Structure 1
Amino acid sequence: MTEKLFYEDAYIQSFTANVLEEGVDEAGRRFAVLDSTAFYPEGGGQPCDTGKINGIRVTDVQSVNGVIRHYLEEELGMSHEKVNGEINWERRYDHMQQHAGQHILSAAFEELFGIRTTSFHLGEKTVTIDLDTDSLTEEVLKKAEKKANEIILENRAIETKWITFGEASRYPLRKELAVTGNIRLVIIPDFDYNGCGGTHPHSTGEVVAIKLLKWERQRKHVRLEFVCGGRVLKQLGEKQAVIRELSRLLNSPQDKMTGAARQLLEEKKALQAALDEAKDQLLEHEVKVLLQKAIHKEGYKLLVQVFRNRTIQELQKMARLAIEKDAGVVAAFVAENENKLQLTAASGNETTNIDLKKAASFIFPLIEGKGGGQPHFIQGGGQRTMPGEELAKAFEEILASASLQMDKKY
């Protein structure tokens, strides 16, 4: 068994140990097993420690069938010899703050509102807990955060104690135990008693502060996101930088930024509406001019036009405008967009002898694409396997085919 120095003293940053084994796992990752370690293996919602062993970076630490494996970038080549281990202390202490903060916050929710924590995850930037409730209110969030920060300011001791399963009944445990052998309790006297294998600071004051960020529903639970300790200061710094930049861009002090942003969005919405109206007027004028170029065919008029860099939405709008203005026209618009070709076609209600849906089954395979629609309106696209003008010509030839006569059911 590897001696777990992180349980003897969570503040150990360096240590010496003997190498018991070196190996490669099923995924080809190198690992070493030591007779003692201060590296915490991933577990219980807390990520593993990282650091170095003899100057070689430790990338991961896992407990595999009770054996703690230290995954390394390179082979140690030091079997049965002493090595020096060094913990990434900044990462370890951050995890200690976050994990202790989670205990405090979960206990606050349970004490104040009877809301239990069902799971916990310590991420790289934030921490989340899943709460056994389907909703939260601002009042509940404020009271829980206030209570948690009061416990932190009281600088209560955080104690650890090993007990047997039989002794566990003497303590008001916050949740059911997941193990039945030796049990490690993490205790904040008169507030929280919890079976936990994670690392924690000596006192609640070292958590510094807790700040709730946001929550969302997850099925029948609520997932709450928050930060503790140094992460609170980091979040504050990041948000302050954003506020300073927004204040500069909006030319407004912080207390008036919301109003300035709202006014800017309203102005943008009005400008967008005016722009859309102007675009529609331009398209309508463009279609009116194009209709003058429509060619008379047997039983209908044909308008075919090729564009560069027009959206499919514009093609659709133009096709509909064309048949609104002239119900006897078949309008086909092709757009070349980088390596794509797109086509939209429409026929007016008076043009009853052409089935555009049938035309689609012939035209889109020519460009290795797909499309479809109704007998009076089709759209689709594919690869630019030919110039747009060639596709337009092919479409015109397909329309002249007798096989495109409208079925009676239409």
Structure 2
Amino acid sequence: MLTKKLYYQDQYQRSFTANLQRSGKDGQGRFYVVLDQTAFYPTGGGQPHDTGTLNDVNVYDVEEVDGEIRHYLEEPAEGYHTFTGKIDWERRFDHMQQHAGQHILSAAFDNEFGLKTVSFHLGTEVCSIDLETVNLSDEEAAQAEAIANKIILENRPLDTKWVTENELAAYSLRKAVSVTDHIRLVIIPEFDYNGCGGTHPDSCGQVQSIKILHWEKQKKHKIRVYFVCGKRVLRQLGAKHQITQRLTATLNAPQEKLDEAANKALQQIKDHEKTIDTLKSELIKYEAGAYIDHAACIDDRNIVQAIFQERPMRELQQLAKHITVSTTNILVLLISETDNKLQLVCSKSDDVPVNMNDLVQQTLPLINGKGGGNGSTAQGGGDKTIAAQKVMEALVSQVSSLTQK
């Protein structure tokens, strides 16, 4: 016996009673019940499922499987033969607004510009449609939005009708239907005729408003348009206004000049970062000189050894380069440590007969590390399995053994 779908008889029905047909547990271990009738809409056609309660037990998912509608419950429904169901009306009506708004917006794009909607997604915060086009202009989007809101303001009826396959020829459908029986049309007279199994309000005015947020290119020559309808428009407006007010105070600029003020602030940051980089580079040059002056002499060779805390790899590389190009017969061993990681840079002047890549590769296993380089400079990083000082001692020891070879 197929489940009777009360949401098609009255999409505004918020509660109902029903008899148990069967209960079970699916392959994922989720408990469900199948009733003789239900007002819970199952996931389908781009519209998410309803939520609510059955005998005060939360219904968290609803699916249609082979004509029966499964209500997934947070706990098994043992001992019940009849159920009282209650729909989460806020969620249902939000979905009705978004789905109806999608019909209106898609029809506006199609009727005005011949842009077909090839898919629809009703998200928890934002909805989207994919248009079959490679470009969408600001003017086209604004015009489609204006047409959609005009239809809403006119409060045109939003009718549903069951038809047979043979009766479809009487309607100018926006797109071909995907079924051959139990065909349900959603109709906005003289504007849109479309096959759909979702829930919608019975008039366009209840959608309240439609606002396109932005759009972006997708693969396969599509444009994805993000939008909101109904109460979501007010939520978006409220959230964006709060952000605007905070930015107005932060940037000390009125709303109409926020873009200009933000760009100016970003440019100033870039300029400051460039200045900082220049100054850091100069400091590293002086730092390199100090390390050269205090280098230790081991095996007739000057060796710079230094361990830093959370110093960027880029700075280690710069410091090593400045040291090795500024003098001869010198080898540089630098380590930076964080709470759980170690990074190292090894470099040498051209006259030192030690291969830095060999040095690093022989040392990295101590820290489960990876890295590489060439004979003159190599680097790598890994886990802090041993103390940084132990790694430094291993590097110095490896230098001596490689030199002996």
Q: TM bucket by the smaller chain?
A: over 0.9
Report the Cα distance in structure 1 between the residues aligned to 2:297 and 2:192, rounded to whole angstroms.
Answer: 87
User: Which residue number in structure 2 is paired with residue 408 of structure 1?
Assistant: none
Partner of 1:54: 55
Shift of 1:345: 1.1
Contact 2:323 / 2:332 at 8 angstroms: preserved in 1?
Answer: yes
Amino acid across the alignment from 2:237 = L
Q: Which residue of 1 aligns with 2:115?
A: 115
Task: Supply the distance in 1 between the matched residues of 2:404 and 2:232 (Cα, whole angstroms).
Answer: 68
Give 1:287 deviation, angstroms: 1.1
Secondary structure at the residue paired with 1:401? helix
Q: What is the RMSD of the two structures over their aligned residues, measured on CA atoms?
A: 1.6
Measure, in 1, the Cα distance between the counterparts of 2:339 and 2:27.
46
Evaluate the alpha carbon distance shift between residue 322 and residue 183 of structure 1 in structure 2; reply closer, same or farther with a 3 A threshold.
Answer: same
CA contact (8 A) 1:368 1:382 kept: yes
Partner of 2:140: 140
Within 5 Å, give how 1:52-201 maps onto structure 2: 52-79=53-80, 81-201=81-201
Provide the rounded CA distance (Å) in 1 between the counterparts of 2:367 and 2:99.
Answer: 58
Q: Secondary structure at the match of 1:19?
A: strand
Return the offset for 1:313.
1.6
Report Cα offsets for 1:155-194 as digits up to 9, x if no partner.
1000111100111111101111100012111000111000
Q: What is the TM-score of this pair, normalised by structure 2?
A: 0.95
Count of matched residue pairs: 403
Contact 1:358-1:404 at 8 Å conserved across structures: no
Aligned partners of 2:196, 2:59: CA distance in 1, in Å?
Answer: 24
Q: Which is further off, 82-91 or 266-275?
A: 266-275
Question: Deviation per CA, 1:305-353, whole angstroms, max 9, x where unpaired?
Answer: 22233222211111011112124321111222222222101112233x2
Partner of 1:244: 245
Instruction: Report the equivalent of 1:292.
Output: 293
Deviation at 1:58, TM superposition (A): 0.9
Residue 258 of structure 1 corresponds to: 259
Matches within 5 A, 1:273-352: 273-296=274-297, 300-351=301-352
Higher mean C-alpha deviation, range 257-266 or range 122-131: 257-266
Could you say what secondary structure the match of 2:261 adopts? helix
Contact 1:354–1:404 under 8 Å retained in 2: no
Tell me how far apart the structure 1 counterparts of residues 208 and 107 of structure 2 sit (CA, whole Å): 17
Stretches (4+) displaced over 6 A: none
1:400 is paired with a residue whose SS is helix
Secondary structure, counterpart of 1:7 in structure 2:
helix
Deviation at 1:142, TM superposition (A): 1.0
How far did residue 202 of structure 1 move?
Answer: 0.9
- State the identity as a percent: 45
Q: Is the 8 A contact 1:356 1:404 kept in 2?
A: no
Shift of 1:260: 2.0
SS of residue in 1 equivalent to 2:109: helix
| Letter matched to residue 265 of structure 1 | L
Contact 2:354 2:402 in 1 (8 A): no
1:371 equivalent to 2:371? Answer yes
> What is the rounded CA distance, in whole Å, between the counterparts of 1:388 and 1:10 in structure 2?
68
Query: Aligned equivalents of 1:298 and 1:55: distance in 2?
Result: 82
Structure 2: runs of 5+ lacking an equivalent: none
Give unmatched runs, 5+ long, in structure 1. 406-410
- Distance change >3 Å, CA 347–CA 17, structure 1 → 2: same
* CA shift in 2, pair 1:84/1:404, >3 Å: farther
Q: Distance between the aligned counterparts of 1:286 and 1:29, measured in 2?
A: 64
Cross-structure match for 2:393: 393
Per-residue deviation, residues 341-374 of structure 1 (Å, max 9, x unmatched)? 22101112233x2111111221111222222100
Deviations 1:62-83 (A, max 9, x none): 001111011111222354x332
Describe the shift of the 1:110–1:327 C-alpha distance in structure 2 as closer, same or farther (beyond 3 A): farther
2:11 counterpart letter in structure 1 = A
Deviation at 1:84, TM superposition (A): 1.3
Relative to the length of structure 1, the TM-score reads 0.94
Cα-to-partner distance string for 1:208-256 (whole Å, 9 max, x where unaligned): 1111111111112111110011110110011011111111222222122
Question: How far did residue 394 of structure 1 move?
Answer: 1.9
Q: Cα deviations across residues 107-160 of structure 1 (Å, max 9, x unaligned)?
A: 111111111111111110111111111221111111111111111111100011
Q: Which moved more, 1:270-279 or 1:117-126?
A: 270-279
Task: Give the Cα–Cα distance (whole angstroms) in 1 for the partners of residues 72 and 382 of structure 2.
Answer: 49
Greater CA drift, 278-287 or 396-405: 396-405
Equivalent-residue separation in structure 1 for 2:132 and 2:402 (angstroms): 68
Residue matched to 2:33: 32
Residue 386 to residue 19, structure 1, CA distance change in 2 (3 Å): closer
